[in-house]
Structure 1
């Protein structure tokens, strides 16, 4: 089962603030789910969860728009917050002094009988991760890969060369029919994104 809540708020970094709509994904079964990203509105996410048990709140990275509701949501659904430790500095900007459970590349998370493998995909942020669910034929990419190209790398803590390497080695090696569920906007499939990546490489950004 894959469910989605779209929440709205702002993203702030490097002195700028932008309005954004975020995809919050719930993956699992009728009785148990894992939440991918805790964006903006803990109440709306908790309402969608309903009476299901939450195994974890997984942050694909620690930009504020993906974690700003994490503490509130964790309290509401009684679940741990998981984040790759390379994003600790970004996390501390939003939740100073609050701990999280570290994620590791290759770690397997489960919810409702669904296994999701953590793929460390730095570039958009140092600790960015994607979650691959082979049984669902899906990968949840946060802001690493979108429909039409890679995530933004023009701000602090990001690297264009690094995100291209992550996408090439960790995502484009997945089966081409794998559905890509993104942190913002519409979903796509892996097979459609390889040509777009070539275009971005040719442009050099």
Structure 2
């Protein structure tokens, strides 16, 4: 049986470059009745642990290291014993939030993680952050896009460590190459599909987020 995807929304604050914004984050739990991984441990470790329902947590996977996606990761790791996985290019951002706790292992482009018999392929998609990754689960026809791609366009690139031409390249080359029916489960807001977003690439470039 393929893994299932559970969805939790947590609320807190995104802080960067001296500003703060109230945000709601999507936390994705992928697994079966006995084991799971968490994608983006945002804001509320206790709520995420409760949503696991006693399942063994195999890993806490960070799509990137903006504080709103990782602020609960150390507490969740301490509570469950699960390792925290992050792409090395996002360590400078990670250290802004957790200067005294480093991730346990690095994510690398092309790496394949497996949970409950389901593969999660790591796609390095820099732009929103240098070490941003998406996780493609072909058996689930799903990609977990973090803040790289949303319903309606790319993630924000107006703050430090981000770059608009780079995120456009990442989306064009890595995400829009996926099957059109692939569900895009985002870091904030509603899900979409690759097919729904692909026709709008030129519009995004013209807008120049």
Q: What does the per-residue CA deviation read over 1:73-108, in whole Å, with 9 as the maximum and x for residues that have no partner?
A: 111121000000000000001111312111111111
Q: What does the per-residue CA deviation read over 1:132-177, in whole Å, with 9 as the maximum and x for residues that have no partner?
A: 0000000000000000000000000000000000000000000000
Q: What does the per-residue CA deviation read over 1:2-26, in whole Å, with 9 as the maximum and x for residues that have no partner?
A: 0011000000001100000000000
Distance 1:145 1:204 in 2: 14
For residues 1-205 of structure 1, the aligned pairs below 5 Å read: 1-100=4-103, 101-205=105-209
Unaligned runs of 5+ in 2: none
Other structure's SS at 1:191 match:
helix
TM-score (norm 2): 0.97
Other structure's SS at 1:90 match:
helix
Q: What does the per-residue CA deviation read over 1:115-140, in whole Å, with 9 as the maximum and x for residues that have no partner?
A: 10000000000000000000000000
Other structure's SS at 1:181 match:
strand
Distance 2:109 2:161 in 1: 19
**Alignment coverage as a number of residue pairs:** 205
Unaligned runs of 5+ in 1: none
Alpha-carbon offset, residue 194 of structure 1: 1.1
Other structure's SS at 2:189 match:
coil
TM-score (norm 1): 0.99
Other structure's SS at 1:192 match:
helix
Distance 1:204 1:11 in 2: 23
Distance 2:193 2:70 in 1: 26
Distance 2:13 2:200 in 1: 27
Distance 1:56 1:74 in 2: 8
Alpha-carbon offset, residue 201 of structure 1: 1.0
Distance 2:5 2:200 in 1: 26
